[in-house]
Amino acid sequence: MGTLLDERTYGMDHEEENITGRGITFEVSQASLMSILTVCEGIIPKSGAAMPILQSIKFDLINETLFVTATDVTQSLLYQLDVKNVAGVNGSYLFPAKEGIELIKRLPRKTLTLEQQDSTLLITYGANRTAMVRILDAEQYPALPSMESVEQLSIPYETLRRSSIGTLFASMEESTPALLGIHIHCCDGRLAFSATDRHRIFNFVSDVAIMDPDSFSSGIVPAKNFKRIVDSFKGAKSTEEYELGMTHNYLILRNSSFVYFGKLLEANFPDLQRTLNAADQGKMVSFSRKEMSETLYRALSLKTENNRITLEVNAAGEFIVHKASEDNEVREEIPNAVVEEGEYPVMKFNGEFLKETLLMGDPTVDIIQLRLTGQRNPGYVTLEGDPSVLAILLPCV
């Protein structure tokens, strides 16, 4: 995991003599540079009041590799990019994040030349086409977190994507810091992800095996940060593998071109095991994810307190979704739903919460299973044939 950091550190300690008379100069395609700056843009803090230097992105040119670093107080990101070192000079400087990224975004999709001229960066993007931005000395830029020797877990993108759905279930209330993130932990020797806002619970136990469960460090990573970095992987090949490590202070994600550090929340995640253990109890109704999603899309056009919807089984055994506002109403049967024999309670749930629950798990699995034990008890949502993922919804009473 330390390879990227080692390469950058070695290069900085062995800077070449400048025999060309030019400052740090390299050529790079606009598309390649912009793809990295877009991810970095999500790391840069919105305000620079506390540490203005964090409004910059660090460029380290080492031979034919550009290392790009973005950081704030909760997360850091290091990317590497192959470039052409025109002047044969290594070195570092700070690139202005806000206006600099916006400028690069608007340049033609062609080869750019970036040349340092003292405290100015000259960007050439065609014949008689140049731009100049002010750059800063990189000496005071914060160092990246130190690496620790922890187990590195190989994890595919699809597993990361499914785990990031937990962000929807995390709280947004700053008064409950333990609920602001996704709890990454070990469950029966496998990597697991949980989140809750006290109104609903998300639990995903992946296929990723943890070789040494006793030494694995669990922790809570801020949900928004985790979702943002995972979303940045969307353009990568679906088969690409990543590495995940957990220290006492950081989540570390990496592949061959980047290293990400996400600072863990200093809080204790609630024990959900007792609630999770009741997932196989109660009456079950199975229905199509696609059909329910389309019904909720229509029903949620009506505005009600807590987006309340009603689920019930009528006398004919049909599974009905009902929502009514002060003046309007939507009432639909979910076709081909399968209801277990016996009395089925009339349930009221937050429709938005139920809709977000349909996003979890394997998107190719269409059949959703909902178990209920009573009007005032939670509803347990699973996917047919996929025991790895579970959502729990508290009813609206």
Indicate whether 383 belongs to any domain: yes
Model's pTM, two decimal places? 0.90
Q: What is the pLDDT of residues 159-194, one digit of tens each?
A: 999 999 999 999 999 899 999 999 999 999 999 999
Indicate whether 301 belongs to any domain: yes
* Residues sharing a CB contact under 8 Å with residue 214, sequence separation 6 or more, in sequence order: none
Q: What is the pLDDT of residue 18?
A: 45
Indicate whether 140 belongs to any domain: no
Query: Which amino acid is present at 365?
Result: V
Q: What is the pLDDT of residues 38-65, one digit of tens each?
A: 999 999 988 766 688 999 999 999 999 9
Residue 131 buriedness (CB in 10 A; 0-12 / 13-18 / 19+): middle
Indicate whether 195 belongs to any domain: yes
Q: Do 254 and 165 share a structural domain?
A: yes
Q: Is the pLDDT of residue 145 over 50?
A: yes
Q: What is the pLDDT of residue 9?
A: 57
- Asked whether 370 and 379 are in contact (CB, 8 A), the reply is yes
Q: Which residue has the tokens 């940045």?
A: 232
Indicate whether 84 belongs to any domain: yes
Domain final position from 79, 101, 134: 134
Q: What is the pLDDT of residue 13?
A: 56
Interatomic CA distance for residues 201 and 203, integer angstroms: 7
Domain final position from 85, 105, 134: 134
Domain final position from 102, 134, 166: 134
Q: Do 8 and 130 share a structural domain?
A: yes
Interatomic CA distance for residues 125 and 102, integer angstroms: 15
Indicate whether 296 belongs to any domain: yes
Q: Do 104 and 45 share a structural domain?
A: yes
Q: What is the CATH number of the domain that holds 63?
A: 3.10.150.10
Q: Name the residue range of residue 370's domain.
A: 278-393
Average pLDDT over residues 232-243: 78
How many domains are there within the chain?
A: 3
* Residues sharing a CB contact under 8 Å with residue 135, sequence separation 6 or more, in sequence order: 93, 94, 95, 96, 116, 119, 120, 121
Average pLDDT over residues 296-309: 95
Q: Is the pLDDT of residue 212 over 60?
A: yes
Average pLDDT over residues 193-200: 97
Q: What is the pLDDT of residues 1-41, one digit of tens each?
A: 455 666 665 455 555 444 444 689 999 999 999 999 999 99
Indicate whether 147 belongs to any domain: no
Indicate whether 36 belongs to any domain: yes
